[in-house]
Amino acid sequence: MRYNFLGKSELKVSEFALGTMTFGEQNTLADACAQLDYAVAQGVNFIDTAEMYPVPGKAETQGRTEEYVGQWLKTQSRDQLIVATKVAGPARGFGWIRGGPPALDRANIMAAVDASLGRLQTDYIDLYQLHWPDRNVPMFGKIDYDPALEKPTVAIEEQLTVLSELVKCGKVRHIGISNETAWGVAEFLKVSERLGLQRIVSIQNPYNLINRAFEIGLHEMCHREQLSLLAYSPLAFGLLSGKYAQDPQAHGRMTLFSAFGMRYHKPNVPAAVAEYAALARSRGLSPAVLALAFVRSRAFVASTIVGATSMGQLQENLQHIELDAEILKGIEVIHMRYFNPAP
């Protein structure tokens, strides 16, 4: 297992992070503890969760994922683990979270972090992230910014001020953003420098073989500013495992929660997925292993967030495979043929 510094921080995170958004919906507490135990035994020290989890978000399960992680975390050596969680913003309309839709203002961030600390049964959060921007931005499969959707928003200055206070009082060690744009990254950095506030260390955005939009603008920004990408959805909702190509009704998130996979219902996705799967099998690899190894091969990725609903999936996903120059060239050929079919 390799370990990478998270941005300019002193945190060294494992190249794989365990994603937990299935805990409490598709996975029981026993499943969750077994996955966490296995991941840590393989060298994973980084656990990613969120206050809105599990997915799909709903009132009766909200917060259950953090509770499961907390049940396990209280039995562990806390200082050996890096725990990340996220505060939900207003964009998704989750009216059951703090009487929402919750703005990313002082009151909501303070309430959210205290609730997460309680559920996680810990005194501090290593990385506290804004789950998505408070302002109007295209997300989750939408790519075009629409000025007509502008609305009142909480200033980034206010968001950073309260996050900085959380770091100063010890509830949070470092802060990050998620589902952000290049403009948003620039603004967070500009405001933190101008006002002497806490600097973000990471960005958690989707990145996989069929969605490499991060490379356009955000790669350069993060390289020059020494920010790390925490890559989520490296298997594109399970599509890049190849299982849906073999059986469109295979058990998984695409069939259980089809609305959450809408960004992948686009014309060139099936053809691209099929070609990446064929390339993997021609080299004796499973499609999932190829997809994850590609994400891990990118220098700007500090950690690849993997989730699973079964121990078999987790064991496959945590394999350490290095891709040679020939197979990387083959990936680029397919990429040029089907350029970012699911941004």
CA distances from 77 to 45, 73, 279, 285 (A): 11, 8, 42, 35
Per annotation, catalytic residue among 53, 207, 264, 276: 53
Angstrom distance (rounded) from CA 65 to CA 22: 8
Angstrom distance (rounded) from CA 84 to CA 17: 10
Chain-centroid distance, C-alpha 159: 20
Query: 3-class secondary structure for the chain?
Result: CCEEECCCCCCEEECEEEECCCECCCECHHHHHHHHHHHHHCCCCEEECCCCCCCCCCCCCCCHHHHHHHHHHCCCCHHHCEEEEEECCCCCCCCCCCCCCCCCCHHHHHHHHHHHHHHHCCCCEEEEEECCCCCCCCCCCCCCCCHHHCCCCCCHHHHHHHHHHHHHCCCEEEEEEECCCHHHHHHHHHHHHHHCCCCEEEEEEECECCECHHHCCHHHHHHHHCCEEEEECCCCCCHHHCHHHHCCCCCCHHHHCHHHHHHHCCCCHHHHHHHHHHHHHHCCCCHHHHHHHHHHHCCCEEEEEECCCCHHHHHHHCCCCCCCHHHHHHHHHHHHHCCCCCC
Chain-centroid distance, C-alpha 242: 21
Does the annotation mark 145 as catalytic? no
Place of tokens 């990936």: 331
Residues labelled as active-site residues: 53
